[in-house]
Amino acid sequence: MDRESEDVLGLVGPRLRALRRERGITLADLAAVTGVSESTLSRLESGQRRATLELLLPLARTYNVPLDDLVGAPRTGDPRIHLKPVHRFGMVFVPLSRRPGGTQAFKMIIPARPEPLEPTPQTHEGTEWLYVLNGRLRLLVGERDVTMAPGEAAEFDTSLPHWLGSADGGVVELLILFGPQGTRAHLRAAPQ
């Protein structure tokens, strides 16, 4: 086996351990679901056992991830962008930009709730610009309480206490540009 293949297989164990811990699953629970013994799973995660297709297939099914993700295979031949959503504060953030530093872009989804959430304003460094795609957004910034409809945009300094939520309990989808302190969005319109 060549050195590159050895390196790829050597990273499978730590990747499997991280995935199991991220999902909050014990080795015993994983063994019960996959039919692979607890000791085999432990040796696989520690690198004492080489990964085989027979061991990886039930793990990929259980974790509901492509086999390529378990072995860290580079994506090839697929032109689609595979965005990884982040779940935070009961909302879903889908990163749309990958450049470190500077302005970051996200699609944010606020899920529907039978009861509206009690606002819990937060502050942090930066500037935020948002655009409502779908639903009705309730935006609190400082003393202002605004309901926004699709097509409306807002910009504010995030050092002011602010909170975003659904105005009517329905799903809200928006685009967010978040920039470092002092960065502002610049709008240009064609002359009339």
The tens place of each residue's pLDDT in the chain, 192 residues long, gives: 566 666 666 788 888 888 888 888 899 999 998 999 999 999 999 989 888 888 888 888 888 888 777 887 666 666 666 677 888 878 888 888 876 667 889 999 999 988 877 898 999 888 999 999 999 999 999 999 999 999 999 999 999 999 999 999 999 999 999 887 656 655 556 666
Q: Sheet with 162-166: list strands edge to edge.
A: 144-148, 137-141, 162-166
Residue where the block lists tokens 């944010």: 108
Strands 137-141 and 86-88: unpaired
pLDDT at residue 87, as a whole number = 84
Q: Which of 160, 158, 162 is nearest to 179 (CA)?
A: 158
Residue where the block lists tokens 């492509």: 66
> Would the CA dihedral through 171, 176, 180, 186 be positive or negative?
negative
pLDDT at residue 182, as a whole number = 57
Q: Which of 126, 127, 124, 121 is nearest to 142 (CA)?
A: 121
Q: Which two tokens stand for residue 68?
A: 């390529």
Q: Which of 78, 107, 85 is nearest to 177 (CA)?
A: 107
* Residue 166 β-bridge partners: 137
- Write the DSSP symbol of residue 122: B
pLDDT at residue 52, as a whole number = 86
Q: Which of 32, 74, 37, 68 is nearest to 53 (CA)?
A: 68
pLDDT at residue 139, as a whole number = 96
Question: 93-111: per-residue pLDDT in tens?
Answer: 888 887 666 788 999 999 9
Residue where the block lists tokens 């679901």: 33
Question: From CA 74, how far away is CA 51, in angstroms rounded?
Answer: 18
